A and B are shown apart, each in its own frame.
Chain A
C-alpha cells in the first residue's frame, strides 16, 4: 500500500476494485463500512456481487478480466470532462500525452460492450472519483491475477495520477496484500530478481555490496519465479526443490500439471507445520514451528514491521524455520550463518537494507514502524511519494494501455467463466482447515451459480455438480445465488478434497509472472456417475 490502513477511514471517496475486503481483510472491510457511515462515497467494481455492493454508492459489476477497459473508460471521461488534476500532472508526472492518446482511441461505447456496465454508470463513477477531495483505490488479487495483471495495476495507477490522488494522506494505490507476511517476504528478497529492499541482483553495484557483505560469489542472473519453476522442472533444468511453508499442489494454477512436475524431481524437501498435500510428495519433510512458537517480525500490507513473539515452546520436536536453515547452512560448511536468534538476523538485515535501516526490535517493541525507515531517528513513512516518485526522473509515470481480453475466453463447449474467491472463514487452507469450528462454518467447496444458469442447466441448490475445464475436473456442491452474475461461476480454493486449481489456467502475465487465476472457461455437468470415476476426479485426471 502506498498509504496506511488508518487513512482509509478519512478518505472522501473509496474505490474498491477486485477486492472482497469484507471477507478477505475483514478489519479493512470494517474501516470501509465505518468510512461510509461518516459520509465517504464508495465506488465498488467486481464481477461478483460481493458485500461491497450492499455498501456501495456506485456499484459496477463488470465482466471478469475487463478491468483495463473499465479503468481506461473512467480515465477518458475524467479527461473529457476536464476533471483531471492538470496542475499535479504538469508538476509531478510524465508520459501524459502518450497515455491520453492511447485511451482516446477506441470509442467509449466499446467500454460499455466489453465491461457490460452502462456508460452513465461508468461516467458517474468517474465523476465521483475525480470530484472527491481525497480518493483512495483499494485492490487485491481481482486486479492482479490476470494474464494482463501488470496492465491492470498500471491502469489503477494512471487513474490515481490523473486525479492527483497520490502522495497525500487518504489517497493512493493500495493493494491489500494477501498472506500475513507476503509484504515482508518480498522486502526480504525472497524473490528471484532482487535482494532485500528490492535491490536488483543484476545491478553490478548491488551485487558487489552483497558479495562483500556475505563473503560469497553471487549469481548476477535473475532466477525463476515460482510459476516458472515447474516448467523448468519439466524441461529438466531444475532437479531439486526446497519448499518452506507453501502448498503449490493446492494453490498453484493448473495443479494437475504441477503434480506431474513434482513427480519428475530428483529431490523435494518440504518444511512445514503440517503434512500438506505437497509435503506428502516430498522426500524429506522437516517440521517447522508455528508463529506462536518463535520470535521475529512480520510486515503487514501497510508496510508496518511488527514484532512476533514466542508464546510457547515448539510443539513436539518441531523447530523454528530460521534455526533449521541455519543448521543446514552450517552443516554444509557455509559461513555467515552463526546467528543466535532472530534479533541478530534483523541487525544484518538493517545493515544491508536501506528501507529497514532504522528498524530495531527495541523501536518496534510496541507499535511497529512503517518502512521506508532509513535511520534510527526516522519515524517511519505512513504514505509514499509526498515529494517525489521513485522513478529515475522523480515523476509519476503514466503508462499507455490498451484493453486485451483474458487468455482464455468462453467457447461453446466451455460457456461459463470461473473466477476464484476466498471465504470469510478460511485463508489459503493449510491453517484454517485444521480448525474444527471454521470447518463447521464452511466445511466444503460450494460453487456459486447464478439462478439463470442454474435454471438452464437444471441444477438444484445443494446438488453436487461436476465442473470441467480444459485442464481437469472437480466435483462441488452447487450454491445457487445471485452473488455471481449470469455466465460466471465462482469457487474458493481452500479445500484439498476439491482442488479448484486443477481447473484454473496457468497463463502468466508477461512481467509479473502471475497466473490468471481469476478467469478460466468451464462447463458444468449435471449427470454424475458415483462409480469409481468419482475418485479419479479429485486427482485431476479427466475422464
Chain B
C-alpha cells in the first residue's frame, strides 16, 4: 500500500505518492497545527500555521500543500518553527475580537485551540497596535450569521461553496487590510445566490459563519432525511424529547455527510406548534351519532349516508379509543370499490405495506394509490 517512506521528527513514516506532508503526518498520528486546512477541500496554504522544515530546502514549507517525496526528512516542531508560528498567530489575533466568553464558538473554536497550543507574546501583540475590526454583522440569513470581525480569512467557506456545493456564492473581496469574505457585490447573504445549505457554517473554524442558535445534544440518532428522494443520512441531535439539530451522517453512502438547506434546517417542522396532537372529528355528538345509526361498537347495520359530514362546525377533540371505534364503524359501511385510499410517499415502507394490506384485505378493493404522479 505504501510506496515510499520519509522521516518526520525522526520517525520513519510510510506514505503514498501524491500525499501531502500533513496527510502523511496525520496518518501516522503526528500532530501538525492547522487552521485553513479542511479535509476534502483543496489545500490553500493561506494561514501559514502548518509550516514545517524540510531538510536540504530553504525556507519553511506549508505541510498541507507540499507533496511527500521518498527519503524526505521533515521536522514539524522546533524552536524556530514555533517562533514563526507564534508570530503568524499573533498577526491573525491582532485584529481579532478577544471576547471569547461571549462568543458562541467558545470551546469548539480552532483559533482558541491554536492559542492554547502555540501561545502568543502579549507585549508583541500590544505593539501591533491594531484594534479589533468593527464591521457590521450580516444577520440576514434566518439560519446563520456572518460576522466578518471574527473571520480569519482561511477561505474554507469559499472553497466549500466552490468545491463541495458548486454554487460559488462567496469569495474574497477588497484588498490588503480591508480584505474580507463577501458575496457578489457585498450584498447580504439572503439577497445573494447563497442556497443556505450551511456547508460553510459547518466547516468554519471560528465564529465568522455561525448558526443563529447553538445547542448541544445529549444524544444523536442516525436516521434518514424526510424531504426528497435522495435519502441522505441524518444525525438528529436530541435533548430531552426535543430535536435540537441535524447534521449530515458521514457514514452514509449516499450523502457522506453533506446536506442541503432542507435537510440541515428543515427538521424544525417536527416541533411546530401547528402539529396535530389529538384525534379530532367534526361535530362529534353522541345524539347525532345515534341519529345516523353509528354505534361505537360498530354493530350497526344501517349504512351511513351522511355521517356528520354536512355538519357545519368545528372539530372536536376525542380520545384515540373513540376515534378508532368511530373510524372502524364508519368504514364498515363503505367496504368494496366505493372506498378509495391514498397512501403517503412520506410514510415508511412498513406503513405503506400495512395500509395497502388493510385496503385490500379489510376494505376489499384495489383503490389505493399515492402521490407518485404529483
| C-alpha gap A301/B341 in the complex (Å) | 24
Q: Is the CB of A274 within 8 A of B275?
A: yes
Q: B368: which of A178, A190, A251 is its contact (CB, 8 Å)?
A: A190
Main SS of the interface on chain B?
mixed
- List A residues 19-45 near B (Cβ within 8 Å): 22, 24-30, 33-34, 37
Q: Is the CB of A238 within 8 A of B142?
A: no
Q: Does B100 contact A (CB under 8 A)?
A: no
Q: Which of A145, A188, A290, A441 has the most CB of B within 10 A?
A: A188
Q: Is the CB of A181 within 8 A of B340?
A: no
Q: Does A360 contact B (CB under 8 A)?
A: no
Q: Which of B261, B265, B326, B371 has the most CB of A within 10 A?
A: B371
Q: Is the CB of A301 within 8 A of B229?
A: yes
Chain A hits for B362, CB < 8 A: 216, 329, 332, 334
> Number of residues in A with C-beta < 8 Å to the partner?
153
28 A-B pairs whose Cβ atoms sit less than 8 Å apart in the complex: A180-B231, A180-B346, A189-B353, A190-B356, A191-B372, A193-B366, A240-B338, A240-B339, A243-B342, A244-B347, A269-B327, A292-B223, A297-B348, A298-B348, A300-B231, A304-B254, A311-B238, A312-B270, A317-B277, A321-B355, A331-B327, A342-B350, A424-B261, A425-B196, A431-B227, A431-B269, A434-B268, A437-B142
Q: A5-B254, A229-B369, A316-B278 are in contact. Are A332 and B328 (CB under 8 A)?
A: yes
Q: A345: which of B226, B304, B331, B350 is its contact (CB, 8 Å)?
A: B350
- List A residues 185-234 near B (Cβ within 8 Å): 185-193, 195-196, 201, 210, 214, 216-219, 221-227, 229, 232-233
| C-alpha gap A275/B294 in the complex (Å) | 25
User: Which residue of chain A has its CB nearest to the CB of B237?
Assistant: A311
Chain A hits for B184, CB < 8 A: none
Chain B hits for A272, CB < 8 A: 276
- List A residues 329-346 near B (Cβ within 8 Å): 329, 331-332, 334, 336-337, 339, 342, 345-346
Q: Is the CB of A183 within 8 A of B357?
A: no
Q: Does A327 contact B (CB under 8 A)?
A: yes
- Interface 1/0 per residue, A255-273 and B, CB below 8 Å: 0000000000111110011
Closest Cβ of chain B to A448, distance in Å, is 16
Q: Does A372 contact B (CB under 8 A)?
A: no
Q: B228: which of A24, A218, A274, A317 is its contact (CB, 8 Å)?
A: A24
| C-alpha gap A472/B337 in the complex (Å) | 31
Q: Is the CB of A180 within 8 A of B350?
A: no
Q: A325-B358, A432-B266 are in contact. Are A182 and B224 (CB under 8 A)?
A: no
Q: B364: which of A196, A219, A348, A426 is its contact (CB, 8 Å)?
A: A219
Q: A187-B349, A266-B306, A312-B241 are in contact. Are A328 and B328 (CB under 8 A)?
A: yes
Q: A239-B334, A441-B142 are in contact. Are A432 and B262 (CB under 8 A)?
A: yes
User: Which residue of chain B has its CB nearest to the CB of A366?
Assistant: B251
Q: Does B360 contact A (CB under 8 A)?
A: yes
| C-alpha gap A267/B279 in the complex (Å) | 16
Q: Is the CB of B269 within 8 A of A434?
A: yes
Chain A hits for B281, CB < 8 A: 283-285
Q: Does A513 contact B (CB under 8 A)?
A: yes
| C-alpha gap A321/B351 in the complex (Å) | 6
Chain B hits for A144, CB < 8 A: 373
Chain B hits for A309, CB < 8 A: 221-223
Q: Does B111 contact A (CB under 8 A)?
A: no
| C-alpha gap A188/B70 in the complex (Å) | 57
A-B contact count (CB 8 A): 475
- Interface 1/0 per residue, B253-271 and A, CB below 8 Å: 1110011111001111111
Q: Is the CB of A267 within 8 A of B348?
A: no
Q: Does A110 contact B (CB under 8 A)?
A: no
The 3 A-B pairs with the shortest beta carbon distances in the complex, nearest first, are A316-B277, A300-B231, A296-B348
User: Which residue of chain A has its CB nearest to the CB of B268?
Assistant: A435
Chain A hits for B141, CB < 8 A: 441
User: Which residue of chain A has its CB nearest to the CB of B258?
Assistant: A27
Q: Does A13 contact B (CB under 8 A)?
A: no
| C-alpha gap A424/B224 in the complex (Å) | 19
Chain B hits for A251, CB < 8 A: 371, 374
Closest Cβ of chain B to A140, distance in Å, is 9
Q: Is the CB of B373 within 8 A of A227?
A: yes
Q: A238-B339, A316-B278 are in contact. Are A184 and B352 (CB under 8 A)?
A: yes
Q: Is the CB of A176 within 8 A of B233?
A: no
Q: Is the CB of B371 within 8 A of A179?
A: yes
| C-alpha gap A195/B305 in the complex (Å) | 31
Contacts A245-B343, A251-B371, A367-B251 aside, 11 further interface pairs with beta carbons under 8 A come to: A176-B229, A180-B225, A214-B357, A224-B367, A242-B359, A266-B309, A342-B350, A425-B196, A427-B266, A436-B268, A437-B142
| C-alpha gap A29/B231 in the complex (Å) | 14
Q: Does A307 contact B (CB under 8 A)?
A: yes
Q: A298: which of B231, B279, B324, B358 is its contact (CB, 8 Å)?
A: B231
> Number of residues in B with C-beta < 8 Å to the partner?
113
Chain B hits for A367, CB < 8 A: 251-253
| C-alpha gap A299/B32 in the complex (Å) | 42
Q: Is the CB of B364 within 8 A of A298?
A: no
Q: A30-B164, A193-B366, A267-B304 are in contact. Are A241 and B341 (CB under 8 A)?
A: yes
User: Which residue of chain A has its CB nearest to the CB of B193?
Assistant: A51
User: Which residue of chain B has its CB nearest to the CB of A293?
Assistant: B270
Q: Is the CB of A300 within 8 A of B229?
A: yes
Q: B344: which of A22, A185, A227 is its contact (CB, 8 Å)?
A: A185
Q: Is the CB of A298 within 8 A of B241?
A: no
Q: Is the CB of B251 within 8 A of A179?
A: no
Q: Does B354 contact A (CB under 8 A)?
A: yes
Q: B232: which of A27, A239, A427 is its contact (CB, 8 Å)?
A: A27
Chain B hits for A266, CB < 8 A: 304-307, 309, 334
Q: Which of B274, B341, B345 has the most CB of A within 10 A?
A: B345
Q: Is the CB of A267 within 8 A of B265?
A: no
Chain A hits for B221, CB < 8 A: 292, 309-311
Closest Cβ of chain A to B228, distance in Å, is 6
| C-alpha gap A192/B269 in the complex (Å) | 31
Q: B227: which of A192, A349, A427 is its contact (CB, 8 Å)?
A: A427
| C-alpha gap A245/B226 in the complex (Å) | 12
Q: Does B188 contact A (CB under 8 A)?
A: no
Q: Does B320 contact A (CB under 8 A)?
A: yes
Chain A hits for B366, CB < 8 A: 192-193, 201, 219, 221-223
Q: Is the CB of A223 within 8 A of B368?
A: yes
Chain B hits for A298, CB < 8 A: 224, 226, 231, 348-349
Q: Is the CB of A292 within 8 A of B236?
A: yes
Q: Does A326 contact B (CB under 8 A)?
A: yes
Q: Is the CB of B373 within 8 A of A515?
A: yes
- Interface 1/0 per residue, A33-64 and B, CB below 8 Å: 11001000000000000000001000000000
Chain B hits for A424, CB < 8 A: 195, 260-261
Closest Cβ of chain B to A335, distance in Å, is 9
Q: Is the CB of B242 within 8 A of A290?
A: no
| C-alpha gap A328/B229 in the complex (Å) | 29
Q: Does A457 contact B (CB under 8 A)?
A: no
| C-alpha gap A262/B166 in the complex (Å) | 44
Q: A218-B360, A221-B366 are in contact. Are A181 and B352 (CB under 8 A)?
A: yes
Q: Does B165 contact A (CB under 8 A)?
A: yes
- List B residues 191-225 near A (Cβ within 8 Å): 195-197, 221-225
Q: Does A322 contact B (CB under 8 A)?
A: yes
Q: Does B332 contact A (CB under 8 A)?
A: yes
Q: A240-B331, A286-B327, A327-B324 are in contact. Are A225 and B354 (CB under 8 A)?
A: no
User: Which residue of chain B has its CB nearest to the CB of A220?
Assistant: B366
Q: Does A438 contact B (CB under 8 A)?
A: yes
